Structures are given as C-alpha cells and as structure tokens.
Amino acid sequence: MKAIYGLYSSGRSAQQAFNRLKAAGIVERDIVVMSAQPMEDFEFGRSDNKTWMWWIACAGGLIGMATAFGLSWLTEMSWPINVGGLPTFAWWPNLIIIFELTMLGAILATVITLVVSAGLGRRPGFYDPAVTDGKILVGVANPSESSVRELESALEAVPGSQVKTI
C-alpha cells in the first residue's frame, strides 16, 4: 500500500484527524497534510516551519555586494579614466551598482532556497486532486500493513471524512 489518507472539508476536522493520527502513534513528521491554501491557524499547518531562508537571503545579498564591489573596483582600476575629476574608484556612483547587485543576490538566494527547501520540481509521494478543490488531505505514506486498520478508523472517526487507500 502506498498511502492511506482522509479528505476533510474544514481545518477543524482536519485538525481532529491530525490529532487522532498522533494518538495512534504516528509521529508528526510522518503525517502528510495538503491543503489549497496556507492553514497556519491550525497546529498541522504550522509543522515544519523552521527555516534559514532569512539568513540565506542575507548571505546572498553579501555575495551580490562583494561581486558588485569587485566588478566595479577591478574594471575601474584596470582602465583608469578621469570622469569629471572624480576619483578613479568613486564611492557615490559605485554605491548604486553595489546596491542593485546586493538586492539581486538576496532575491536570487531566496528563490533558490525556496525551490530546494520546498522540494519544488519533485513529485509528491501521493496526491489527490480534491485538494485544489478545497479539501484538506491528512494521511500517512507507506503505512505498515499491521497499522492500516487502526489508521483507517482514526481517519474515519472524524465526521464528514472521506477516507481513501492507494
């Protein structure tokens, strides 16, 4: 069996199913939840919300800043042209290039972190199109044969559930 899951119409019932799976001995990281919108108001929607993305964005910005500094320094010093009496390497005009590449570095680092940490580009283990129709999927991937009956009853115990096995 690939997975067992229930589809729920509201966050409240999905939370009940989530709690029942935990009570059945499933650890939180093994419970799969999928929804059509962020559900941070519920406990299941807040799982796995630790990220280094802010720090990685800052690091990306620093790399962008260093690149811009190096680019402007090396190119201006390798061909020193007198422009309006400014120093060969003038801070004021170069700050513009440095600022733009700093922000570009932060933006690109953010997007790369998103793609990698959210697992974009990888197929999910299982999926149900009802999720994008507003249902909330709560289930377990690759359950052991011995636990299927117990999981099924835990998921079905919530009123209005629609339990499926694939």
Partner 1 sequence: MTHPSPSHINRDLLRPLLQTSWRFYLLVGLLGSVVLTALVAWLSQAFFGFGITGIRWPIYWGFYVTSFVFWIGISHAGTLISAILRLVNAGWRRPVTRCAEVITVFALMIGALFPIIHLGRPWLAFWLFPYPSERLIWPNFRSPLVWDFFAINTYLTGSVLFLLLPIIPDFAVVRDRSTGLRRKIYSVLALGWAGTPRQWHRLETAMQIMAIGIIPVAVSVHTIVSFDFSMAPVPMWQTTIFGPYFVAGAIFSGIAALLIAMAVLRRFLQLQDYLHPVHFQNLGKLLLVMALLWGYFVFNERLVTYYGNEPSEMAVFWRTQRESFAPLYWTMVICNFVLPLVLMGIRYFRTITGCVIASLGVIVGMWLERFLIIVPSLGHKYLPYTFATYRPQPVEMIIAGTTFVAITLLYVLFAKVVPIISIWELKAGEHTPPSLRPPGSPEHALGELKL
How near is the Cβ of 146 to partner 1 at its closest, in Å?
26
Q: Does 55 bind partner 1 (CB under 8 A)?
A: no
Amino acid at 64: G
Site mask for partner 1 (CB under 8 A), range 125-144, x = bound: --x-x-xxxx----------
Cα separation values, 76 from 3, 62, 73, 79, 118, Å: 61, 21, 5, 5, 41
- Comparing CB distances to partner 1, the nearer of 110 and 147 is 110
Q: Does 30 bind partner 1 (CB under 8 A)?
A: no
Q: Which stretch binds partner 1 (CB under 8 A): 102-110, 138-146, 147-155, 157-165?
A: 102-110
Q: What angle do CA 156, 23, 7 make, to 5 degrees?
A: 30
Give yes or no for a contact between 65 and 101, defined as CB atoms under 8 angstroms apart.
yes
Q: Does 63 bind partner 1 (CB under 8 A)?
A: no
Cα separation values, 1 from 48, 78, 137, Å: 26, 66, 17
Residues that bind partner 1 (CB under 8 A): 11-12, 15, 32-42, 44-49, 51, 53-54, 57, 71-72, 75-76, 78-79, 81, 83, 86, 90, 93-94, 96-97, 99-101, 103-104, 106-108, 110-111, 113-115, 117-124, 127, 129, 131-134
